[in-house]
Amino acid sequence: MTSSKRAARLCAVLLATTAASGAMAQTQITMWHQEQVQPRIDQFQVVIDAFNASQDEYEVVQQVQGWGNIYQVLPPAVDAGIQPDIQFTIPDFTVTVRDTGAVQPVTEFVAELDEAHGFIDQAALPYTDDGEVWAVPVYGMVQVLWYRKDMFEAAGLDPETPPATWEDLLSAAETLTGEGVYGIGIPASQSLATDQVFYSFMATNNDAELFDADGNVIFDNPQTVATLEFYKQLADLSPSGIGSWTWAEPQDALNAGAVAMAIEKGQYLSTFETASGQPSEMLGCAPVPVADGGERASIYYSNAAMIMTDDPERRAGAEAFLSFVLEPENYAEFLLAEPGLFLPLTEDGATDAWKNAEALAPYQSCLDLMTEQSAYGMLPGFNIGEVQDAIGPIAAQNILAQVVQRAIIGDETAADAVAWGQAQMESAIAE
């Protein structure tokens, strides 16, 4: 072998060794989330790939969990020391996970992001407790009333005057029900989906609080009973399978024309035209109807990311990735993981790239409505100035949904089901 060939070979070996060494030095950042829908996973990967390509210090890897079991899966992972570096969360889940001691405060980091991008008021508030912020706000979600304008027209209802009150909603649902079509579709399974829709009705009936100022459960009250009685009436005007419905089924039924109305978040925008075969203008949206004497409201989630590593290098990688996500040029790509469902939480996040994306462009009025509705958002356990830690075990057991099931599937009276819920909540807190 000539000296020149040896030199070339040595150079190749050195280059390969250097590349391998650099690859080994790269720190892997594990991210868990509960968005199991494949397009969301795929779009998250687009953002992850862009981040990984933008630098050579960190490699983010996503791992998909599910809301059905994350409350049971994460604490044992922490006990075993195999928790993710980044864990996507909602406020009540954060309360539960903080008990493990693994959640790292991110107060200064969130302040830096706020200065750079301007978080809306609802972003960090439910994650602020004991003088610290415990998760980085990432995107928002709010519920509204979705309805089929074409079905309203066919039933002789004015599609430009959607139900504004409970009385209006019930009347419209009765008018729309018949010949294999149901006026509304509401979930009644033991699930977070049922918790959310039932709570939106509670909130519009001046019944947003589960606790008093001293932390006592106040679920068993006349407003809650009235809300459950109303929910039972809506269930009678819904398809028979609602006992197993979560999020997808009401959306599928609305798209198929099997139901005319549903209460949900903004994921309805992304599939309406293709799944329903109707033009975009046939999808109507309105605030959640309000009880007599109630007030405009809806459940609202600031979704966030907990940092769950105290390793300085991995924490730096987690912060670098979340900073990357919230940069306006990247944020639109992230929010479009589910067009309409994921709403911006920063002042500079509602970019033209997001609002004018192909899936959202026809629905500007509904985007504006959801942005407006966010200002009326509420969340059990997070409305009275201090985080109520007791909401963690209550939410983990889907006690609100269990109350709904007892009344609708078990055919208990609303008063009995609510009294049972009060006792279950008190028991959950005592454990």
Q: What is the pLDDT of residue 171?
A: 98
Which of the two residues, 386 and 165, has the higher pLDDT score? 165
Q: Is 357 helix (H, G, I), strand (E, B) or coil?
A: coil
**H/E element holding 302?**
strand 298-307
Does the pLDDT value for residue 8 go beyond 50? no
Are 232 and 414 in contact by the 8 Å Cβ rule? The answer is: yes
Q: Give CA separation, 382 vs 112, 163, 250, 329, in Å.
A: 24, 28, 27, 32
Confidence of residue 421 (pLDDT cuts 50, 70, 90): very high
Q: Which residue in the block uniquely carries the two structure tokens 């504004």?
A: 164
Q: Which residue in the block uniquely carries the two structure tokens 């003088």?
A: 131
Which of the two residues, 375 and 284, has the higher pLDDT score? 284
Does the pLDDT value for residue 13 go beyond 50? no
Q: Among 53-57, 241-245, 248-252, 383-387, name the one with the lowest average pLDDT.
A: 383-387
Confidence of residue 17 (pLDDT cuts 50, 70, 90): very low
CA dihedral 325, 287, 264, 328 (to 10 degrees): -10
Mean per-residue pLDDT for 219-227?
Answer: 98
Determine the Cα–Cα distance for residues 60 and 89; give it in Å rounded to an integer: 17
Q: Is there a shared CATH topology between the 26-141+302-366 domain and the 144-299+377-430 domain?
A: yes
* Count of Cβ atoms closer than 10 Å to residue 380 Cβ: 22
Residues in Cβ contact with 41 at an 8 Å cutoff, skipping those fewer than 6 apart: 35, 62, 64
Hey, what are 78's tokens?
């922490």
Percent of the chain with pLDDT over 90: 86
Determine the Cα–Cα distance for residues 127 and 371; give it in Å rounded to an integer: 20
Q: What is the pLDDT of residue 383?
A: 80
* Count of Cβ atoms closer than 10 Å to residue 163 Cβ: 23
Phi-psi region of 299 (alpha: psi -120 to 50; beta: other; left: phi over 0): beta
Determine the Cα–Cα distance for residues 287 and 271; give it in Å rounded to an integer: 20
User: Which residues lie across from 27 on neighbouring strands?
Assistant: 58
Query: What is the DSSP code (8-state) at residue 294?
Result: -
Mean per-residue pLDDT for 153-163?
Answer: 98
Does the pLDDT value for residue 2 go beyond 50? no
Hey, what are 250's tokens?
């009401």
Does the pLDDT value for residue 136 go beyond 60? yes
Determine the Cα–Cα distance for residues 423 and 174; give it in Å rounded to an integer: 34
Phi and psi at 342, nearest 5°, equal -90, 115
Global confidence as pTM: 0.87
Instruction: Give pLDDT tens digits for 229-277.
Output: 999 999 999 999 999 999 999 999 999 999 999 999 999 998 999 999 9
Mean per-residue pLDDT for 166-178?
Answer: 98
Q: What is the pLDDT of residue 24?
A: 53
Closest CA to 154 of 135, 172, 133: 172
CATH code for the part of the protein at 26-141+302-366: 3.40.190.10
Query: What is the DSSP code (8-state) at residue 178?
Result: B
Does the pLDDT value for residue 11 go beyond 70? no
Determine the Cα–Cα distance for residues 29 and 192; give it in Å rounded to an integer: 28
Phi-psi region of 81 (alpha: psi -120 to 50; beta: other; left: phi over 0): left
Determine the Cα–Cα distance for residues 147 and 133; give it in Å rounded to an integer: 38
Mean per-residue pLDDT for 165-171?
Answer: 98
Instruction: Give pLDDT tens digits for 64-82.
Output: 999 889 989 999 999 999 9
Distance of CA 157 to the CA centre of its chain: 32
Q: What are the structural domain ranges in the chain?
A: 26-141+302-366, 144-299+377-430
Hey, what are 114's tokens?
């706020």
Q: For the domain with range 144-299+377-430, which CATH number is right: 3.40.50.2300, 3.40.50.720, 2.20.25.90, 3.40.190.10? A: 3.40.190.10
Determine the Cα–Cα distance for residues 268 and 286; give it in Å rounded to an integer: 13
Mean per-residue pLDDT for 29-48?
Answer: 97
Hey, what are 93's tokens?
């889940």
Are 402 and 190 in contact by the 8 Å Cβ rule? The answer is: yes
Does the pLDDT value for residue 83 go beyond 90? yes
Confidence of residue 9 (pLDDT cuts 50, 70, 90): very low
Does the pLDDT value for residue 46 go beyond 80? yes
- Where does 48-93 show beta strands of DSSP type E? 58-64, 86-89
Which of the two residues, 18 and 113, has the higher pLDDT score? 113
Instruction: Give pLDDT tens digits for 282-333.
Output: 999 999 999 999 999 999 999 999 999 999 999 999 999 999 999 999 999 9
Determine the Cα–Cα distance for residues 194 and 198; give it in Å rounded to an integer: 6
Confidence of residue 384 (pLDDT cuts 50, 70, 90): low
Q: Among 6-20, 78-92, 297-311, 396-410, name the one with the lowest average pLDDT.
A: 6-20
Does the pLDDT value for residue 385 go beyond 70? no
- Fill in the amino acid letter for 75: P
Confidence of residue 93 (pLDDT cuts 50, 70, 90): very high
Determine the Cα–Cα distance for residues 37 and 246; give it in Å rounded to an integer: 13
Determine the Cα–Cα distance for residues 194 and 243; give it in Å rounded to an integer: 10
Are 296 and 173 in contact by the 8 Å Cβ rule? The answer is: no
